[in-house]
Amino acid sequence: MNNDLDFTQIDIFNTYSHLFHYKKYKKGNFIIEEGNTVQHIYFILSGLVKLSYVDYQAKEFILSFAFENWWETDFPAFYYQEKSKFQLQCLEDTEVYSLAYNNYYELIKNEKLSNHFLDKSIKGHIASQNRVFSLLRDSPKDRYEQFSKDYPSLIQRIPKSVLALYLGVSRETLSRLYKNHS
């Protein structure tokens, strides 16, 4: 995925700045909490967040990370205006532009912007399917190597315990993979 801010996104923020709200969050803060209705989609200006689910046994499952120039939210809850099953938490101090549900639909009345968001959605869906397939097919070593290749800058930013959860391995296994990969 291309993480560079493209001209379309710059155009969105310049032309429709009145629809966005700037917000700052501290490391550890939750942008979305499970059980709350999701009213916004977020564009990450700076920082790093994780979208995760915590089951009834308090075991955490990380669905995704989002960092600079990425859009993130609990998409099903946002789309259907339902309560979130997930939580979106800051792994670093984070700055976002939030876009409310009604404002999102105001934006996509414009065909160019509708196509932009459709492209982002399709790419996100593809990435999600690839991740699930990787969890089913690939060894922990292969998952780690692919993550390192796709997101080299994140390896140093994500705590090892959090990365281990995302990759579906123990902290000890991740340490071995990290040593062998270096």
The answer as to whether 90 is a domain residue is yes
Q: Going by C-beta distance under 8 Å and a sequence separation of 6 or more, which residues neighbour residue 129?
A: none
pLDDT of residue 15: 83
98 and 180, same domain (yes or no): no
70 and 4 in contact (C-beta within 8 Å)?
no
The answer as to whether 1 is a domain residue is no
40-56 mean pLDDT: 96
Rounded CA-CA distance 157/141 in Å is 19
91 and 41, same domain (yes or no): yes
Lowest mean pLDDT among 45-49, 82-86, 165-169: 165-169
108 and 154, same domain (yes or no): no
The count of structural domains within the chain is 2
Residues paired with 95 in a beta bridge: 24, 46
91 and 168, same domain (yes or no): no
pLDDT of residue 182: 59
For the stretch 92-115, pLDDT in tens is: 999 999 999 999 999 889 888 888
For the stretch 22-45, pLDDT in tens is: 999 999 999 999 999 999 999 999
The alpha carbon dihedral of 163, 94, 3, 84 has a sign of positive
Two tokens, residue 134:
């990787």
Provide the residue count of the chain: 182
Lowest mean pLDDT among 4-13, 116-125, 165-174: 4-13
47 and 102, same domain (yes or no): yes
**Backbone phi and psi for residue 53, each to the nearest 5 degrees, phi listed first:** -125, 135
pLDDT of residue 5: 46
Does residue 9 have a pLDDT over 80? no
115 and 158, same domain (yes or no): no
Average pLDDT value over all residues in the chain:
90
The alpha carbon dihedral of 20, 83, 121, 148 has a sign of positive
Cα atoms found within 13 Å of the Cα of residue 85, Cβ hemisphere only: 9
Query: Could you tell me the CATH number of the domain that includes residue 118?
Result: 2.60.120.10
147 and 158 in contact (C-beta within 8 Å)?
no
52 and 81, same domain (yes or no): yes
The answer as to whether 2 is a domain residue is no
Look up the domain containing 59 and give its range: 7-127
Does residue 6 have a pLDDT over 90? no
pLDDT of residue 10: 66
Q: Which amino acid is at 38?
A: V
| Prediction pTM value | 0.88
For the stretch 123-159, pLDDT in tens is: 989 989 999 999 999 999 999 999 999 999 998 899 9
Q: How many CB atoms lie within 10 A of CB 5?
A: 13
